[in-house]
Amino acid sequence: MRSTFHGLETARRALLTQQSGLYTTGNNIANANTLGYTRQRVNFQATEGWPPPSVNRSQFAGQLGSGVSAESIQRIRDFYLDVQFRAENSKLGYHGSNASAMAKLEDILNETGKDPVGLSKTLSDYWQVWQELSTNPENDGVREVVIEKGNAVAETFQHLHNSIEFYRQDLGKQVDGGVDKINSLLREIDDLNRQIAQMEPHGYLPNNLYDERDRLVDELSGYMEIEVEKVPNEGNVKALAEGTYVIRANGIEILNDDRYLELEVDKPDGYVTNISFGGIPVDIVNMPQGSMKSLIENYGYGSADNGTYSELLADLDKLANDFAASVNAAHMEGVTKDGSPAGALFTEGAGAAGIRMLDITLDQLAPSVTATGDGKNARNVADSFKGVMNEYETVIGRIGVQAQFANQQTKSAGNLKVAVEEKRLSVSTVHLDEEMMNMIKFQHAYNAAARTITVIDEMLDKIVNGMGVGGR
């Protein structure tokens, strides 16, 4: 025989369960703008019917429903969209860092824009003034301009070297900062793994911890490409529990349920000499793609002249040395105003940082081959560094191509990341219109359950206070 209070218990369960749905909806609305928050849903499940299967069960047709319960509160998230997002985030981190580094180089070289004033312009002006001197070899005014333009060439070489080296050192600081950030993220993810591993065996779904862990993993993926695997915990674990994260980079298990490996980057000689995870070496070629790899490649690795900035510095040193040697050799073929053999104009072999124009007087310039003032040597000097100008144009062209490629890849990776992010947000983000609809739905269900209790209370009141009073 069914219980007199069966209906009350069924309605009570409905009240509590609809209340859970309403509270979860309120939590979603409260966190609509919280970074990394994933919307949650209460999974309702019908409770076991009455009577339960047994030998001495009551005999009547079918089972009576006994109500509903909140089985679990689940995050609405697609793990495979997370995998795609992190892959695109790694690509964007790598190409975006490259694009930023190349943009700095273009700013320093200053060879683009409406009024470029870089080394090309300085060399061109120097070439032009020697051409003028060839037509006016005895003109002191032109001679003075030659000396001024020569100093300008040397100072431009020095400025380029110092500026590029300054930004290269800044990249080194960014490498150090990136290492610290990666290790900090791994440490925080490891701590969250441990907290989750302690809670899940007791039947909990720590959704807030899941959200924070995914947010940190997303951030980590920008620094380097990673693989994430879910490993279930043991104990009284719910089916929806997400378990512990195992993270791999370049095939190395850098984090699991037991420990994490810190990234170590050594650069004792002004360039990166060693990269490892917890002592396990990683070759720069096989370094996981991300902003960290880009920083190392631009800063310099393996040797003093290996790396985008280091290679450019080496190119500038060669250009400065070639320029000084060629100009000096051509100049010393001429004679000064008094017919004496001409000397050198620039220091040789000092590279872009050390090139200087020697202290000479106007009379010590040698625009002519003979003392008659023929101006032939000025043309020889002008022609002597044409090769340097052509080499520099090649360097500028290479930098331009690299910058263009980095910008194109950044734009492509950015578009793909946005596309995946939009899909992920469509699944996981809080939609206020939908939450308002859920609020109304749970409110009406709650009110209906409360009305059911009122009706059953009236029925019981009739039985208790209204029956058996006949004849009194």
Q: Give residue-wise pLDDT tens across range 240-265.
A: 999 999 999 988 999 998 899 999 99
pLDDT score, position 471 = 57
pLDDT score, position 55 = 64
pLDDT score, position 58 = 63
Higher pLDDT: 363 or 372? It is: 363
> Which residues 6+ apart lie within 8 Å of 274 measured at CB?
264, 265, 266, 281
- Average predicted confidence (pLDDT) for the chain: 89
pLDDT score, position 59 = 63
| Length of the chain in terms of residues written | 472
* Tokens at 249, concatenated: 């980079």
Higher pLDDT: 287 or 421? It is: 421
Q: Is 10 exposed, middle or buried (0-12, 13-18, 19+ CB in 10 A)?
A: buried
**Does the predicted model carry a pTM greater than 0.95?**
no
Over residues 175-187, the mean pLDDT reads: 95
Distance CA(147)–CA(325), nearest Å, equals 17
- The confidence band for 446, taking pLDDT boundaries of 50, 70 and 90, is very high
Percent of the chain topping pLDDT 70: 95
